[in-house]
Amino acid sequence: MRVVLRDISKRFGSLAAVDHVSLAIEGGEFFTLLGPSGCGKTTLLRMVAGFAIPDGGEILFADEPVTRVPPHRRDTGMVFQNYALFPQLTVFENIAYGLRARKASSAAIRAGVSEILENVQLAHLAQRFPSQLSGGQQQRVALARALVIHPKALLMDEPLSNLDARLRVSMRHEIRRIQQSLGITTIYVTHDQEEAMAVSDRIAILNAGQVQQVGRPAEVYFAPRNRFVAEFMGTCNLLELAVAAFDDTRSLLEGEINGRRILVRARKKPETASVTVLLRPEWIKIADRPEDGETNRFPGKVVRAVFLGSLVTYQVEAFGDRLLTLAVQDPPGQEIKREGETIDLRFDPDRPVILGT
């Protein structure tokens, strides 16, 4: 089912929690609302579910307006952050609750619950109570309860936030597997960038009630539209580059940082005297020896080195007073740089992103 939001707004007093948001979620798509606390993502999801009414705008399910349709008539399944399981009911009865509320027959309830228990791999726990389950098992019961009614859309509000880090990783893969096997339209809310990138077909990044960018995970990571998206979608280095020249034939921008020449690929000459350039930590390389025709090579001093097994992150002082973060994958143990060591760094002109162009 296709879900469309047209110019949706919601205020709480003087606060614009959702500010003229328009989105189109395609049928069968896993669509994530991502942003920091207070950005409006949960309020937006609650309006899709029918638990809150927009002050302005329209919500459509399969081209039919549902803006003022009550939640129980919207044909959606909701998974809450705290799971909201009934402690006095068994796993089977928790999952069957929605079918009983719809007055399904006993045979239909048994068949429906049994099928979804197999799908979420909990058939062997059907007679246990929520207090006898792990956090991950409770999360799957909540998911099964939402899915057993065969909703046209699945809505999930930070469903993994109560789990430990390792279990969150395994459960997000499980959610994605189930969603893809059922082909159900899913709208997912999270503040976790890695989680969003791992499960989503597309992501909408929100800040202060407004959509900053919508796109595929790789698109918003590698080509952020503005400074907020660049910083929110992972660690980044932002450099202010004074524009010196532009080579039309090669689409190369020549700039300076504290007198050092830097080349960056650009579609057109900037209209401003300076630009903000994004460099992800993994785009900066440690340069062991000079090479012919090498560009964007510069010295730096290691301020901090953090060994994380398959990854070493460095903070390096460069360009006089700039502090850069770089990440080195699979570092040989004997080559890990020491704090205070001077090293040469470089990056390819094709890697940086000029923000705001």
CB neighbours (10 Å) of residue 219?
Answer: 14
**Fold match flag (3-232 vs 237-354):** no
| Structural fold of domain 237-354 | OB fold (Dihydrolipoamide Acetyltransferase, E2P) (2.40.50)
The token duo for 211 is 């959509």
| Distance between CA atoms of residues 137 and 110, nearest Å | 20
More confidently predicted of 257 and 290: 257
Q: Give the Å distances, CA to CA, from 336 to 119, 308, 340, 343.
A: 46, 11, 12, 11
Q: Give the Å distances, CA to CA, from 69 to 7, 47, 153.
A: 18, 10, 15
Nearest to 225 by CA among 208, 201, 204, 254: 204
User: Does the domain at residues 3-232 carry the CATH identifier 1.10.167.10?
Assistant: no
> What are the extents of the domains in the chain?
3-232, 237-354
Instruction: Please compute the mean of the pLDDT values over residues 164-185 and round it to a whole number.
Output: 88
The predicted pLDDT at position 130 comes to 94
Place 292 in a pLDDT band, splitting at 50, 70 and 90: low
Q: What is the pLDDT of residues 32-79, one digit of tens each?
A: 999 999 999 999 999 999 999 999 999 999 999 999 999 989 999 999
Which of 4-18, 106-120, 277-291 tops mean pLDDT? 4-18
